[in-house]
């Protein structure tokens, strides 16, 4: 079975707004064994919408319409789909009565244009919308000699998701062969996409039954693995076996094998090891602390830190000797180490992290170019320093640098 | 004139990836007076792609294809569009020779499958691609009795943008009546969308010739204003007049009227007034410092700050008396003020900002619920404190709180 998703709304044809609902629906449909073969985005035009609906019903088994179910003149999905299917619209007095109650409960009088939200395509099942006024509709039957399923959903994401999950998934499942799907997400830090793929491709190519998707972002790769089999246990076994082989290959580059973020994993390790942390950051300007504290409960292990942009503050907050800065420069292996050691002592933390570098676009030199960053991690047993040269703009360099600092903490506690 | 944009690639029909190129092209097309009426997303299937191409050419004046121009078996745009237009594909020896040179320059031997990138639709103008191997194509002529423009562009955004800007815009302009468009973007801080709209709608409704789009995000609203007129001066005058009326109405809620971000505006003010800044933040955990230092050159006025998650560090880094914390609690008007004053003195800055609150989801109480945040700004002439109760989750509350702190600095220096 395949599906076409149609997003409706003139705002989706401007430079400002984009359909994202279809990503959610695609994931759910894929889990049912349904492939999405077309997505269409159409404005609030009855002609264009009817044309798109007619075409979709002729070429896809399942057609899902999103949006255009509201009370205004621009909301034309009901009329257009009815036209495309050659069916009548009938006003359902129960829906109208429910709408009137909804308005009355809020102390409002319902405007007449809301009545059109009670229009139902002949033979459709009404899907009540707990989060809004516009109900969805479910139509299943033969059109042009073929079994088709047509679904009308409201456009606002929280209405669409709740309605689809609660009322469409089980109906679709009943129409489709059972699916036994297992999936896992591996997250890998600080490895290039091509380097990662070169190492894992020979492995996942041997698992032709597992879909492998590689998503790369700055400093992180996600491997999405998914398979279907005759039973859930079989599917899980196949995915788990592939995960194991990839983990053996990539070893400590693997941050998590259940989708957890680097920040979350660092949080687990710090709690598990009963370790506290303080940071002194220059070029990342607070980003490292921000990422550490983005995890709820981080006050249990993160004591705090200093954003030491000026040289004076490197001394005042992290006890970096002024002579050291003068001798080696603020961006240096020595100052990174002193930042980590200084902030650790000042905060009474088990671990201290220090970051100093050139985020750019200005401030670079031939010896210390934009992108050069020193990362230090100090503990009771000594201090390690990593030097990196990151590519990209200011934002990207700061992101890479904070990721590197987080990864040093992770590796230290592994 | 209207346009249809077709994005090609099976990865765009998964839950993981989304076409964003079309937003860019839509903005450019709108500036030429061209409206986008359909967007279609289709996988790497020759049947589906040919069908989509045939339909698009029948219903839109301008059809733009994005992607599917590479060298692999999955790259089927050339063949499918040629089929849809009823034209032949011819291999262009010059393109093949240029590809071979490109590979040779890098010391590589070109694989035979790259030859297909030299296939050109009969009558098409080849659009050289400075940033990749696949050239674009431009076809203009009568199809089914109507003048049509068909454009093939590579999928990678930097290739597509450069190729479209440099080689398609001028060609399209030559085919279209001249457009005189003026646009401006207003940014408004810390006002609700409906509250903002209630105040500005009576104004922009009097400017029916100006398109007004309201985009709302956490703590910020953008008003995009755009108009066409008989001359550029006329268009500019209309937009400027509307901007002036909105600024008179919203007054100091307007952060910028040229699209500049709050961070950038704060940066301008700090430089203009020759003022330095230090921050002590608790619940925002480094986010305030991160946003301040996201602007290049921020080291000129941002001295640094402290992320004082623990009570001990509030005392150690910002000299907040331990008794004050004990008496009023860490989340209090008094501690916010002490943080701002303490960090200002410790860093020798003109201004000190302090933030303390409950970001949640844990740590709330009936007296101090999740979302309660105190913001303080200390200067030589005294300290002001603002108390807010922000809605939403941890991420949203931290974002609101950092926006409020930035906005206090902006208003202080206005």
Q: What is the pLDDT of residues B375-406, one digit of tens each?
A: 999 999 999 999 999 998 999 999 999 999 99
E strand intervals along A338-399: 351-357, 372-379, 382-389
**What totals of helices (H) and strands (E) does chain B contain, helices first?**
14, 17
> Pick from B38, B296, B317: which is nearest to A48 by CB?
B38
Q: Does A306 touch chain B (CB under 8 A)?
A: yes
Q: What is the pLDDT of residue A67?
A: 96
Q: Does A285 touch chain B (CB under 8 A)?
A: yes
Picking from A311-325, B102-116, B220-234, which range would have the lowest pLDDT averaged per residue?
Answer: B102-116
Sign of CA dihedral A79, A82, A86, A90: negative
> What does R_g of chain B's alpha carbons equal in angstroms?
28
How far A306 CA lies from chain B's nearest CA (Å)?
Answer: 4
Position A346 pLDDT exceeds 90: yes
Q: What is the pLDDT of residue A118?
A: 95
Q: Does A290 touch chain B (CB under 8 A)?
A: yes
CATH of A262-413, one of 3.40.50.620, 3.50.50.60, 3.30.450.20, 3.90.950.20: 3.90.950.20
Q: What is the DSSP annotation of B163-219? A: HIIIIIHHHHHHHS----EEEEEEEEES--HHHHHHHHHHHHTT-TTEEEEEEEETT
Q: What is the pLDDT of residue B109?
A: 86
Angle between helices A46-59 and A77-85 (to 10 degrees): 50
Position B15 pLDDT exceeds 90: yes
Superfamily name with CATH number, domain B263-413: CinA-like (3.90.950.20)
Which stretches within B16-166 are classed as H helix?
21-31, 46-59, 77-85, 93-105, 157-163
Query: Residue B285 phi/psi, 5° resolution?
Result: 55, 25
Contacts of A280 in chain B (CB under 8 A): none
Task: State the architecture of A181-256 in CATH terms.
Answer: 2-Layer Sandwich (3.30)
Buried b (16+ CB within 10 A) or exposed e, A202-219: ebbeebeebbbebbeeeb
Nearest partner of B221 among B213, B209, B229, judged by Cα: B213
Pairing of strands A2-8, A35-42: parallel
Q: What is the pLDDT of residues A191-210, one digit of tens each?
A: 988 889 999 999 999 999 99
Put simply, the answer to whether B27 touches A15 (Cβ < 8 Å) is yes
Q: Does A304 touch chain B (CB under 8 A)?
A: yes
Position A43 pLDDT exceeds 90: yes
Calpha distance B190→B404 (Å, rounded): 7
Put simply, the answer to whether A313 touches B299 (Cβ < 8 Å) is no
Interval B160-177 mean pLDDT: 96
Residues 6+ apart with CB under 8 A from A214: A193, A196, A197, A221, A222, A223, A224
Calpha distance B347→B329 (Å, rounded): 24
Q: What is the pLDDT of residues B265-305, one digit of tens each?
A: 999 999 999 999 999 999 999 999 999 999 999 999 999 99
> With a CB-CB cutoff of 8 Å, which residues 61-90 of chain A face chain B?
none
Q: What is the pLDDT of residue B347?
A: 96
Position B341 pLDDT exceeds 90: yes
CB atoms within 10 A of CB B412: 16
Domain A181-256 matches domain A262-413 at the CATH topology level = no
Position B96 pLDDT exceeds 90: yes
Taking CA atoms, what residue in A is nearest to B214? A16
Q: What is the pLDDT of residue A274?
A: 96
Tell me the percentage of chain A whose pLDDT exceeds 90. Answer: 91
Position A218 pLDDT exceeds 90: no
Calpha distance B82→A338 (Å, rounded): 65
ipTM tops the 0.95 cut: no
Rounded to the nearest angstrom, the gap between the alpha carbon of residue B282 and the centroid of all alpha carbons in its chain is: 29
The CATH class given to the B2-175 domain equals alpha beta
Which stretches within A178-231 are classed as H helix?
193-204
Put simply, the answer to whether B286 touches A309 (Cβ < 8 Å) is no
Taking the C-alpha atoms of A216, A220, A224 and A225 in order, what is their torsion angle to the nearest 10 degrees?
120
The domains of chain A are located at: 2-175, 181-256, 262-413
How far A63 CA lies from chain B's nearest CA (Å)?
Answer: 14
Mean pLDDT score of chain A, rounded to an integer? 95
Position B133 pLDDT exceeds 90: no
Position B175 pLDDT exceeds 90: yes
Calpha distance B148→B141 (Å, rounded): 6
Position B19 pLDDT exceeds 90: yes
Q: Does A20 touch chain B (CB under 8 A)?
A: yes
Position B194 pLDDT exceeds 90: no
How far B97 CA lies from chain A's nearest CA (Å)?
Answer: 28
Calpha distance B216→B234 (Å, rounded): 29
DSSP at A394: H
Calpha distance A204→A381 (Å, rounded): 40
Instruction: Give Cα separations from B75 to A1, B103, B234 (angstroms).
Output: 24, 20, 46
Mean pLDDT score of chain B, rounded to an integer? 95
Calpha distance A300→B295 (Å, rounded): 31
Contacts of B317 in chain A (CB under 8 A): 304, 306, 317
Contacts of B288 in chain A (CB under 8 A): 286
Put simply, the answer to whether A308 touches B304 (Cβ < 8 Å) is yes
Interval B368-378 mean pLDDT: 97
Q: Does B18 touch chain A (CB under 8 A)?
A: yes
Q: What is the pLDDT of residue B192?
A: 87
Give SS3 for A205: coil
Q: What is the pLDDT of residue A108?
A: 87
Cα maximum dimension of chain B: 85
> Angle CA(B68)–CA(B70)–CA(B76) in degrees, nearest 5?
40
Picking from A249-258, B68-77, B321-330, which range would have the lowest pLDDT averaged per residue?
Answer: B68-77
Contacts of A316 in chain B (CB under 8 A): 346-347
Position A133 pLDDT exceeds 90: no
Taking CA atoms, what residue in A is nearest to B276? A310
Tell me the percentage of chain B whose pLDDT exceeds 90. Answer: 91
Contacts of B14 in chain A (CB under 8 A): 26, 30, 213
Calpha distance A374→A325 (Å, rounded): 14
> With a CB-CB cutoff of 8 Å, which residues 327-366 of chain B face chain A?
346-348, 360-363
Task: Name the pTM for this structure.
Answer: 0.90
Calpha distance A214→B270 (Å, rounded): 44
Strand partners, A353: A279, A377
């Amino acid at each position: 079975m395949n599906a076409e998703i149609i997003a409706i709304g003139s705002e989706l044809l401007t430079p400002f707004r984009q359909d994202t609902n279809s990503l959610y629906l695609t994931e759910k449909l894929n889990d049912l064994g349904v492939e999405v073969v077309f997505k269409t985005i159409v404005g609030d035009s009855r002609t264009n919408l009817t044309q798109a609906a007619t075409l979709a019903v002729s070429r896809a088994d399942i057609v899902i319409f999103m949006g255009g179910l509201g009370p205004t003149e621009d909301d034309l999905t009901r009329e257009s789909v009815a036209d495309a299917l050659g069916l009548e619209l009938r006003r359902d007095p129960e829906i109208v009565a429910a709408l009137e109650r909804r308005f009355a409960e809020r102390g409002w009088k319902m405007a007449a244009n809301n009545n059109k939200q009670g229009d139902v395509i002949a033979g459709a099942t009404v899907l009540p919308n707990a989060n809004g006024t516009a109900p969805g509709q479910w139509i299943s039957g033969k059109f042009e000699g073929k079994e088709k399923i047509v679904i009308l959903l409201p456009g606002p994401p929280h209405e669409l998701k709740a309605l689809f999950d609660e009322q469409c998934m089980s109906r679709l499942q009943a129409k489709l062969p059972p699916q036994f799907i297992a999936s896992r997400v591996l997250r890998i830090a600080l490895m290039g996409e091509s380097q990662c793929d070169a190492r894992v491709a020979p492995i996942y190519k041997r698992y032709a039954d597992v879909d492998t998707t590689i998503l790369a972002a700055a400093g992180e790769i996600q491997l999405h693995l998914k398979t279907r089999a005759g039973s859930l246990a079989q599917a899980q076994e196949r995915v788990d076996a592939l995960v194991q082989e990839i983990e053996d290959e990539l070893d400590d580059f693997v941050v998590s094998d259940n989708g957890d973020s680097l920040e979350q994993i660092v949080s687990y390790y710090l709690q598990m090891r009963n370790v506290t942390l303080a940071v002194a950051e220059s070029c990342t300007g607070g980003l490292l602390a921000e990422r550490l504290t983005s995890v709820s409960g981080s006050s249990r292990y993160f004591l705090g830190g200093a954003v030491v942009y000026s040289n004076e503050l490197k001394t005042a907050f992290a006890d970096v000797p002024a002579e050291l800065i003068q001798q080696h420069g603020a961006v240096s292996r020595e100052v990174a180490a002193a930042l980590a050691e200084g902030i650790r002592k000042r905060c009474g933390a088990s671990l201290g992290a220090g970051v100093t570098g050139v985020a750019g676009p200005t401030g670079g030199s031939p010896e210390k170019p934009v992108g050069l960053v020193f990362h230090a991690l100090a503990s009771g047993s000594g201090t390690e320093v990593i030097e990196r040269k990151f590519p990209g703009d200011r934002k990207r360099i700061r992101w890479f640098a904070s990721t590197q600092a987080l990864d040093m903490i992770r590796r230290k506690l592994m």
